[in-house]
A = this chain, B = another copy of it.
């Protein structure tokens, strides 16, 4: 089933068929309908490759995540997938395995096969990022770089909420359990933490950096206890869940002896033990918005973007891992 078959069947030229299908207004109604009917009849599906080759558009968007195992990204993938399908585009999923080099390399490799790319938690240096954005439509998630459009989840504000929450419960010694130092989000959260603490005349302790996995949680838990803090705010839920587990192993009561607040509200945060107080992030929405921005950008290439950055609000979801500070 090629465009030529339809052309032969309907007695028009191939170019007319092409137009009838992709720019319907360029061809007379009756001709168009005849062609469309024939196409439907023959169950015609345009060849993506051929189309891409001549038009340059692939109707495919790549989503780069640093680690496909991290549940945080699943919401993102889902949201992106949904929105992309609605627009009839395909999703190329790429796992960069937390490596900036690999990220750069793979990006370079697929660059010609996609219309645009969504970079989730990119590890790339700013300069590289803007270079890439200059030659390929890019939307970043949770990473803000000048001249690159982005959707960022306002976790820093969430961190502020978390601090208010903990302080109101009587906590004075609160530690931040840091994630990977290469993470832009980590830095933003730590900054927010210090600011929020300072507003109460307190200073935040900091342990880490740690990897974002539950196993890193074990060592993070021990480090957290060493700070003497009565509460910890963690870089993300994966880490927090790992910490919870380690604390349970060590017989430390949560929240009796120490409170733990996570970040993101991933799958599992509501049913771990104890259920995790955490910053609920609109992850799926972030995926959808990122795609919308990208597609919107694609449609108006050349025009200057209306909005370069979208900030998505978070809120604190209080569960059972946080409670009043212990008396000393």
Contact = CB atoms under 8 A, between A and B. Distances in A.
Interface of A: 43, 45, 47-50, 52-53, 58, 60, 68-69, 71, 74, 77-78, 81-82, 85, 90-95, 108-113, 214, 241, 244-245, 267-268, 271-273
A69 B266 CA distance: 11
A47 B112 contact: yes
Contact of A71 (B94, B112, B267): B267
Contact of A92 (B71, B92, B273): B92
9 closest cross-chain pairs (CB), A and B: A273-B273, A268-B268, A49-B52, A48-B113, A93-B93, A49-B53, A49-B49, A271-B272, A68-B78
B58 A78 contact: no
So how many copies of this chain end up in the complex?
A: 2
A95 B81 contact: yes
Contact of A74 (B53, B74, B85): B74
A149 to B, nearest CB: 23
Nearest to A102: B85
A245 B214 CA distance: 22
Nearest to A268: B268
Given A74-B69, A271-B245, A272-B272, A110 B90 contact: yes
B53 A271 contact: no
